[in-house]
Chain A
Amino acid sequence: MAKAELPLHAPGTQLDKGYIGQSVPRPNAQRLLQGRGAFTDDLRFPRLAHAAFFRSPYAHAKIKKLDFKQALRSPGVITVVDGRAVAEYCKPWVAVLAHLKGIKSPEQFALAIGRACWQGEPVAAVVAESRTQAEDAVALIEAEWEELPVVVDMEESLRGKKIIHEEFEDNICFKRELDTGGVDEAFAQADVVVEETFHFGRHTGVCLEGRAILADYNAAEHSLTVYHATQAPHMMQDIFSRHLGIPEANVRVIAKDVGGAFGIKVHVYPDEMATAALSVMLRRPVKFVADRLESFLSDIHAREHRAKVRIACTKEGQILAFDLDDLTAIGPYSVYPRTSGIEGNQVVNLTGGPYKHQKYRAKMNVVFTNKNVTCQYRAVGHPIAVALTEGIVDLAAQRLGMDPADFRKLNLIADDAYPYTFPSGIKFEQLSHHKALDLLLKVMDYRKLREEQKQLRQKGIYRGIGLAAMIEVTNPSPAFYGVGGARISAQDGATLRLEPTGMVTVLCSVTEQGQGTEAIFAQIAASAVGVSLEKVKVITGDTGVTPYGGGTWASRGAGIGGEAVLLAGRALRANILEVASQVLKMEKAELDILNNEVVNKLTLESKMPLAELGRIAYFRPDTLPVDYQSELTVTRHYTPRQYGFTFTNGIQASYVEVDADTGFVKLLKHWCVEDSGTVINPMLVDEQIRGGIVQGIGAALYEECLYGPDGQLLNGNMADYLVPMSGEMPDIVCAHVETPTRQSQLGAKGVGEAGTAGAPGAVMNAVNDALAPLGARVTAMPFTPERILKALGKV
């Protein structure tokens, strides 16, 4: 077993010795390596029917007539339904939350009724005996449309000349203003003011596995079992129950293997709700898997922002104030149940977040458009906030003639300043910006790299170094969704059971999409109970068997679910020792558990294997005192209470070379220093950071959902929408500062979104650093060769 390079126990934690901090491989990866996983589309059921959807070809149009006659006669077709028919089985929804004051959105149905508001919105469904037959029949649906005015551009939407939803007087879904006061004064006193407008392209998650659902309604029991590629089984259980009118306890949601999620699979999708409704309607299992083309049209998109930012600085380089004006467009509906107001809200909360200034003003508008909906996707708002903050910070440093690293050193919040309240109101328990910056500069050999850059410039080779400091929301409390009325659990639970053979079964409400959730829970459980890792079996993703909980989102699995596992593990250990003391007639305090055996705490002499203890407790309890009942299954829950969010910090650096003739950017290397508290499995953490960084590089250089003026998605396939592939990606160096959170005993903070949060800003700064001697600058992501050549005045 490979030992971690990091200390086994970070200072401040009180863990028993064990597997924490060790790079152990994931036990559940074996089946995936042999192609023997069970993704939703791999499941086979008797009488399984297949759904396919007829989607609006227009961005905005009245549905004048739908004619199903031909489709119904097509071979294998079981039924063809429109929005009204599905609405008989599935109640509509409105995605607003009380803590986002003033947010509004129209009622949304599983299948559009009367009007379609984006190209790709589902308006009719075919159910057939095979997917092929269902798709054949979709092609036979005849529709009459009346095209309506289309709003594509977000500035146009904000102006409100054309209103998308006639029940509203404008196109504004949500707006927020924040002002600490004193901003105008700070700008008036400033020696240097810099201003820039950044544009962020709309992009999407491109999970390799399309969204997938198999709903199996049992009419005799009035029960629904849903096999669902989801991050949040309990949230979906609640949604199916309330919208389909089935008692909560009769709905079971099972997430088996999930082929990538990244926030895409944590929302309510109209076609998935329709699939569940069709199963109820037809009283048989119905499956729907989004193919790649419909994934581009209907998976949530994210990140379409125009952000104007100004900062005020003294001539010594001290930042005095930030002033932000952000605009984002979310499509025609706020997405249920998390809403589409959160991303913009995060941009307001996080902009300027690493720095010491006290004056901050922000204005943010979230507007409707006739494009696909947007919602929370990996790192929600962070890539925008980090890039615009770090972009303007670099510009200020450049204007002042200061080195970007020195400028950050001067302005980052001091490591001894915590607890700290940032001007936007967010609270930091303990961050380590300076330690992280120092470590980054050391691991990348910053000064030497600057020297190399300088020398190469003389040879006409344009390389750039970009830094991006970041803060990141992890381990959210109910402040994220619950306080606004969303039925999304902020708590998670873990049940641990000692089996008769001495094995430990862990059932946890946090789900696995490949991050290694089950592996780290096994590490924590094994360490807490005192068993070896191979004795632990972890089960997640089934509302029928796990405790209740939120699932996987907002970098919460390790910090919240992991703490529940730790608490349950300690309780199980205590209960095991209770049984042992009865059997051995020894005081509990004299006993401990080590390597699958009950031992004498002082001498470590083996007293009894756990397998023997299990045998006695389950099969021969008659040998125990008559008034004694053993309890070898325990459940514990955890929710963070002291802080709204457990913020993490980190800093990334990108090293690129820009070809001034072609506009191509070559990624040479990337570094990330992250402080995610206690690191449970360094190998998993590092590869997750790397994956996140690559996703962020995609945003910076390649990915954008391009729409025409008529609201048609122009590049909705994998040949035209570019994603990062191995050939272009750099090697990525990860290093860690470990500042465990003191809110939990485990001390873990989240890490899953850090890479994606910081990479776009780092790459942007590197590209602009490379272009600086040529007098060019880019501010609209993705930085395509065309945009770079335009900035260079070459096209």
Chain B
Amino acid sequence: MDHAVEATLTVNGREVRRRIEPRMHLVDFLREELGLTGSHIGCEHGVCGACTVRVNGQIVRGCLMLAVQADGCTVETIEGLSDSKELSSLQKAFHERNALQCGFCTPGMLMAAQDLVLQKQKVSREQIRAHISGNYCRCTGYQAIVDAIDEVINGKG
């Protein structure tokens, strides 16, 4: 049975129109239909944050939003924000401080971190830790991630 409905989304600045099964979640749509494999699937129940993407300027869990819910929305992914250089300060700080190991959490972590950067306020380490506490990293111990975000937001070297 075909329950697919037509939806139009703007993904990384480009309009895409697709027939989408209502049960398909947004991150599956990005990965499977658009080939944007930078957003990762870690738990599919909204805990790990690996699938974090930006919809209409807000970060969301790509596994907790259905693709059809994004009809008419602007969606931004790690690929788009890398190409636009919006993430370049965070990416540079993450690289220089080794704030990633396997890199599976990194796209989601960067999306969450950039959300804090965009608030344009000085923040404490505790606030940084709290802001990324919905993004699971099994490799790093989080400290280098906190250091990198701290550097970008608070200008610490």
Contact = CB atoms under 8 A, between A and B. Distances in A.
A447 to B, nearest CB: 26
B102 A209 contact: yes
B82 A35 contact: yes
A727 B135 CA distance: 10
A695 B140 CA distance: 9
Nearest to A38: B37
B72 interface: no
Contacts of B44: 291-292
Most buried by A among B35, B44, B130: B44
Contact-size category for B: 35 or more
Interface string B52-77: 00000000000000000000000001
B35 A44 contact: yes
Contacts of A205: 138
Most buried by A among B32, B78, B102, B145: B102
Nearest to A206: B138
Interface in A32-48: 32-37, 39, 41-42, 44
A208 B100 CA distance: 13
Contact of B43 (A31, A130, A718, A732): A718
Interface residues of A, number: 58
B138 A729 contact: no
A685 to B, nearest CB: 10
Most buried by B among A36, A205, A692, A726: A726
B146 interface: yes
A694 B142 contact: yes
B50 A208 contact: yes
B101 A39 contact: no
Contact of A731 (B78, B102, B143): B143
A513 interface: yes
Given A44-B35, A718-B48, A694 B101 contact: no
Contacts of B106: 32-33, 35
B107 A691 contact: no
Given A35-B82, A292-B42, A718-B47, A208 B138 contact: yes
B143 A732 contact: yes
Contact of A691 (B38, B91, B135, B138): B138
Contacts of A292: 42-45, 48
A687 interface: yes
Contact of B138 (A42, A291, A723): A723
Interface string A701-729: 00000000000000001110001011111
Given A209-B40, A718-B136, 4 more contacts: A33-B103, A208-B137, A259-B40, A723-B136
28 contacts: A32-B100, A33-B94, A33-B103, A35-B38, A35-B82, A35-B106, A36-B82, A37-B103, A208-B105, A208-B137, A209-B40, A258-B102, A259-B40, A260-B138, A261-B102, A292-B48, A513-B102, A687-B140, A687-B141, A694-B140, A717-B43, A725-B136, A725-B142, A726-B128, A726-B132, A726-B135, A732-B141, A732-B143
